[in-house]
Structure 1
């Protein structure tokens, strides 16, 4: 699963696979032909539309489902309903007026907390409280990968400029470009991606003994560990740095495995093991298994190559700020 991975959310995302054909690529269809001369994003190309843009009017974009949505040319009051939307707009230099709590959290994710200290929380991940959204007076709502049509209808009654920004198989770079187009900052989004690519490449090349090491990326759940496939967010960051995945984890896909039993614990081994959790009960389950021989016999454990990382960064579908944080975590561990 690529992002907000509770069991219920996993089932929901499987239901979203039909949307993946369009995805954020649909949102970018107009942007690709209209980014000349700055962050103009999409538009009809007509003289009236151009005049409206110049006057701070509206633009039309396609969202991740292929739906045409009229959005402000210069949105002033943005509400984000996922951590990934929040990460993206902050990276683009925009502070929203309303946000939701982080994945598995009752507060914003720690790595973004300083940036949103004074921003109102309007609900939990993809579960906005409508009265709080109304109070935020948004002129643009970024709705992540929401598929609840009833909730989308309510949001569009608050503002028709409600954009589904991502589909299940979209990686963070594609989602960022789609979000960048929606907020009329596509050129800035491309700059952010270029900056990340340069950082990841430089960091990977700067590794010495651990250059090209096999890194196991695992989230510990209450009922056991799950390792991440190669196209999952943090896995992609590791690959961007020139790192590799253990043979057992060298699988194409953007999901994670079902929780593994102790008998299959060798699947999480690697030159280095990066472990994350999202909930308190998962942390307790990890503490319990760390006392068991099956865990203690892992090569990464015996070599003292186990690194605990923030699940709200590593276990999501990601954004540019999270990607930069993962590069930093990998560099800190592997360059020492």
Structure 2
């Protein structure tokens, strides 16, 4: 079946699901469109990139399409019934804990499956304008749909947004406060001021360096480190280097992401062969350093930073 055929089926399923939900509980319609049933449930207005959206006061069956929405929802105790993932082969990231193990996958972040989302009968769908704009009308026919503007926005702002959407803004602020307090504690205890740190992700035949605008890069800076300066950091979260230029990543602390940090080959030879510029590189789990954006991912990154700094020199 072609992609266009899939979309045709998706639209039909979405419309059917919308009709069923609308008949039973008001579903994706606003209070004024559902003869008062949404009012009986209680709704709130959330300002989004698509305008104001009426959402349930206490959504119980949410679907998330973006990693920061998944992480934040789980951290706030609103475990999604479904989520899009970066890779269906790896599924829901293990770092999110046992309560996230039962979340059903509904395709990838890049290509969510509309029919799978409709089958879960969600009462709220969270997505991102920059990634999911083409799916909005289909999603909104299933349930109230709230889009963040961009996954590239500062991640803590997106955590705030998810908190407001779920009616748990104070709890989201508390989670971010715990994260910032722990950053300050690590910076003080390990005297990180004035030290540099660089996060490197090996990818095929290049090495990707992450800067202070990235999720994990900003967490290294939150813990008191400075990212070695590059002109790209004004606008970009990362920059690719050929292995021959790896010494440009020179820093006091070198962190290297891997799918399996315990693998002896996790750190490429281009890095280990340059101990003068890249001393004692440390392998860390890519599933939260790169893709685990959110309060739980932030705490997991801080766990690793504390572990690395606790090692004897």
CA gap of 1:155–1:66, structure 2 versus 1, over 3 A, is closer
Q: Offset at 1:117?
A: 1.4
The match for 1:58 among 43, 54, 63 is 43
Which range moves more in the overlay, 190-199 or 54-63?
Answer: 54-63
Query: Which residue of structure 1 aligns with residue 217 of structure 2?
Result: 235
- Alpha-carbon separation, structure 2, partners of 1:84 and 1:251: 22
Instruction: Provide the secondary structure at the position in 2 that maps to 1:74.
Output: coil
Query: Which residue of structure 1 aligns with residue 250 of structure 2?
Result: 269
Provide the aligned length of Structure 1 versus Structure 2. 274
Query: Which residue of structure 1 aligns with residue 114 of structure 2?
Result: 130
Between Structure 1 and Structure 2, the one with more strand by share is: 2
Q: Offset at 1:264?
A: 1.4
TM-score (norm. length: structure 2): 0.78
After superposition, the C-alpha distances for 1:179-221 in whole angstroms (9 at most, x for unaligned) are 111111111111111111111111121115x554211111111
Matches within 5 A, 1:130-149: 130-149=114-133
- Alpha-carbon separation, structure 2, partners of 1:78 and 1:200: 31
- Alpha-carbon separation, structure 1, partners of 2:244 and 2:68: 35
Query: Which residue of structure 2 aligns with residue 320 of structure 1?
Result: 295
Q: Offset at 1:104?
A: 8.0
Query: Which residue of structure 2 aligns with residue 331 of structure 1?
Result: 306
For the Cα contact (< 8 Å) 2:44–2:57, is it kept in 1?
A: yes
CA gap of 1:79–1:192, structure 2 versus 1, over 3 A, is same
Query: Which residue of structure 2 aligns with residue 307 of structure 1?
Result: 282
- Alpha-carbon separation, structure 2, partners of 1:168 and 1:87: 13
After superposition, the C-alpha distances for 1:68-105 in whole angstroms (9 at most, x for unaligned) are 21111111111111221110011111111111224585
TM-score (norm. length: structure 1): 0.73
Q: Which runs of 5 or more structure 2 residues have no equivalent in the other structure?
A: 1-35
CA gap of 1:60–1:233, structure 2 versus 1, over 3 A, is same
After superposition, the C-alpha distances for 1:254-293 in whole angstroms (9 at most, x for unaligned) are 5211x311331112221121111469xxx99966x41x5x
Q: Which runs of 5 or more structure 1 residues have no equivalent in the other structure?
A: 1-50
- Alpha-carbon separation, structure 2, partners of 1:133 and 1:104: 15
